[in-house]
């Protein structure tokens, strides 16, 4: 059974960097058929996909246009986990953050596993 | 800021059939497969439907879905009290280069 366990601080000051980690069990961060990403949810933005990383002979990264200048998603093969860093945060980045697994088979793609979610508040 | 549009709420009595619509465009629903997610407030969303109409193991057959054109639809037959939740649609958007979600529909069992 796939499990995603998130960790990281729940409070970040404005202009600082938000950092979260997602530990994977039951799968490998290097699995060629899936990707690993982050989604956030807030009342103002709803569910917002932030980005993903995946491995097919090398590592690839896709980021949402809304955050692409501030976001980094890094895989860590030694610990079988991946991380999110979002720089220069503002109160508008306050949200529940989820790590997720995306799966693809031929023409279809879906997000099939979600972490438990973590509320991150941006406030001084 | 959700790209896909859903009705805010639908309701029904136990045993009834309810449907939820999800409206998009040619770069997402019109071109890609659709997924549906179910979220009980305070918990993470869970996959309900993938590849437009396929159910993961463990999802009851009374959940069904279709995709006529650039809109998608989720139907819940034989509505039960435990179906109360918020339902989201989702699809990859080829123009945006990312995954997009619907605004969410709250299902209430009267």
Predicted pLDDT of residue A46: 96
HSE-CB at B62 with a 13 A cutoff on CA atoms is: 12
Residue B102 pLDDT grade (very low, low, confident, very high; cuts 50, 70, 90): very high
Report the distance separating Cα B23 and Cα A124, nearest Å.
39
| Rounded mean pLDDT, A110-115 | 97
Give the closest residue to A71 by CA, choosing from A81, A61, A60: A61
* A48 touches B: beta carbon within 8 Å: yes
Predicted pLDDT of residue B75: 98
Predicted pLDDT of residue B10: 98
Q: Cβ(B15)–Cβ(B76) under 8 Å?
A: no
Residue B2 pLDDT grade (very low, low, confident, very high; cuts 50, 70, 90): confident
Q: Which of A33, A41, A46 to mutate to test the interface with B (most CBs of B within 10 A)?
A: A46
Query: Which DSSP symbol is given to A97?
Result: E
pLDDT digits (tens, 9 = 90+) for A16-64: 999 999 999 999 999 999 999 999 999 999 999 999 999 999 999 999 9
Give A86's strand partners. Answer: A18, A71
- Are the beta carbons of A47 and B92 separated by less than 8 Å? no
A96: closest CA of chain B, how far (Å): 9
Mean pLDDT for chain B? 95
* B58 touches A: beta carbon within 8 Å: no
pLDDT digits (tens, 9 = 90+) for A73-112: 999 999 999 999 999 999 999 999 999 999 998 889 999 9
CA of A103: how far to CAs of A1, A19, A108, A111, B22, in Å?
A: 15, 24, 8, 6, 22
- Are the beta carbons of A65 and B35 separated by less than 8 Å? no
Residue with tokens 């790590």, as numbered in its chain? A99
Kind and range of the H or E element at A51? strand A46-55
Angle, CA B16 vertex, CA B14 and CA B18 arms, to 5°: 115
Query: Which DSSP symbol is given to B83?
Result: G
Predicted pLDDT of residue A61: 98
DSSP SS3 for A2: coil
pLDDT digits (tens, 9 = 90+) for B41-89: 999 999 999 999 999 999 999 999 999 888 999 999 999 999 999 999 9
- Are the beta carbons of B88 and A107 separated by less than 8 Å? no
Task: Tell whether the model's pLDDT for residue B1 goes beyond 80.
Answer: no
């Amino acid at each position: 059974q796939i499990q995603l366990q998130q960790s990281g601080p729940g409070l970040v000051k404005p202009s600082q960097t938000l950092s979260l980690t997602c530990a994977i069990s039951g799968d490998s961060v290097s699995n060629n058929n899936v990707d690993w990403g982050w989604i956030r949810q807030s009342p103002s933005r709803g569910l917002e996909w932030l980005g993903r990383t995946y491995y097919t002979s090398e590592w690839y990264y896709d980021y949402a246009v809304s955050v692409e200048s501030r976001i980094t998603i890094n895989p860590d093969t030694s610990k079988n986990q991946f991380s999110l860093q979002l720089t220069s945060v503002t109160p508008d980045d306050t949200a529940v953050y989820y790590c997720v697994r995306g799966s693809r088979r031929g023409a279809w793609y879906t997000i099939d596993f979600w972490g438990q979610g973590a509320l991150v508040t941006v406030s001084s | 800021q959700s790209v896909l549009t859903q009705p805010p709420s639908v309701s029904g009595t136990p045993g009834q059939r309810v449907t939820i619509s999800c409206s998009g465009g040619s770069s997402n629903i019109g071109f890609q497969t659709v997924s549906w997610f179910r979220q009980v407030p305070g918990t993470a969303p869970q996959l309900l439907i993938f590849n437009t109409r396929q159910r993961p193991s463990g999802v009851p057959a009374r959940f069904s879905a279709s995709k006529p054109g650039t809109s998608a639809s989720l139907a819940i037959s034989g509505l039960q009290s435990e179906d109360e939740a918020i339902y989201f649609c989702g699809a990859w958007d080829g123009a945006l280069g990312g995954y997009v979600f619907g605004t969410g529909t709250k299902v209430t069992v009267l």
